[in-house]
Homo-oligomer: A and B are copies of this chain.
Amino acid sequence: MTSKVRTLGDAIATHVRDGACVALEGFTHLIPFAAGHEIIRQGRRNLHLVRMTPDLIYDQMIGMGCASKLTFSWGGNPGVGSLHRLRDAVEHQWPAPLALDEHTHAGVAAAYSAGAAGLPFATLRGYLGTDLPSVNPRIRSVDCPFTGERLAAVPALNPDVTILHAQRADRRGNVSMHGIVGAQREAAFAARALIVTVEEIVDELPPAMNGIVLPHWIVSAVAQCRGGAYPSYVHDHYARDNGFYQRWDTIARERDGFLAWMNRHVLASRDHAAFLASLQEVA
């Protein structure tokens, strides 16, 4: 049996190259914050970030200059408001210009599903009567060969690397997750490489019947990382820190304050445990 267990640092260094197309997926739940921080620490540049709901971790990566392009469908701080670093990049090109490939949730979900299925495009009843196709040439149309009906088409999404967080993995690389799963399975199957951080690594996962498992042969590396989704949450492990999401609005509002916070808590921390400890000092 080949072990897929790696340190997070090794997994990122091996699979995430400058210029890569990278999807850190997670829909409110199981957002891979620790992996995003490690990408920032390793100084990756010109990433094409993909995500349905770029939230705080993408705000941080964009503000730290990791990204040059963003494929997305909703970019905000859920329940709070704007992502100030994303806005600054789009409105004022700071710290660098950010090209937008903007879709709807239905469009990105269909594009991941097509990517997972090995198809070059997805068909949907989408984008009807809106201005989105006029600002995104990657939204096209296809005619049904049976009814003649015109439908929307989007190109499949196949990230070079998808990064997820989950509850458990075994050494072989099988990953088990439960709770709200967003489009994570589709983003995983669509990826050329797949890194998963988990709360816990066990010798062997039990048979899961209809439970959600990412099978080991689609997984490139698993890294244990307790608290790796904080400040988002992990069902049956820890709750979402809604207060942090609210505080982020202030932290990220100005460039200087943002940089100071990132330096102190992310760059000055060796790893995620140190990051969490640095937040305890503040609290």
Contacts and interface: CB of A to CB of B under 8 A. Distances in A.
A210 B182 CA distance: 12
Interface stretch (A31-39, A113-121, A223-231): A113-121
B120 A149 contact: yes
Contact of A120 (B118, B120, B144, B178): B144
A155 interface: yes
Contact of A209 (B119, B145, B147, B179): B179
Interface residues of A, number: 26
A124 interface: yes
A151 interface: yes
Contacts of A119: 123-125, 151
Contacts of A145: 121, 140-142, 153
A243 interface: no
Count of this chain's copies in the oligomeric assembly: 2
A125 B156 CA distance: 14
A147 B118 CA distance: 13
Interface string A191-228: 00000000000000000011110000000000000000
Contacts of A118: 125
A71 to B, nearest CB: 14
A155 B179 CA distance: 34
Given A119-B125, A178-B209, A179-B210, A155 B151 contact: no
Interface in A116-141: 118-121, 123-125, 138, 140-141
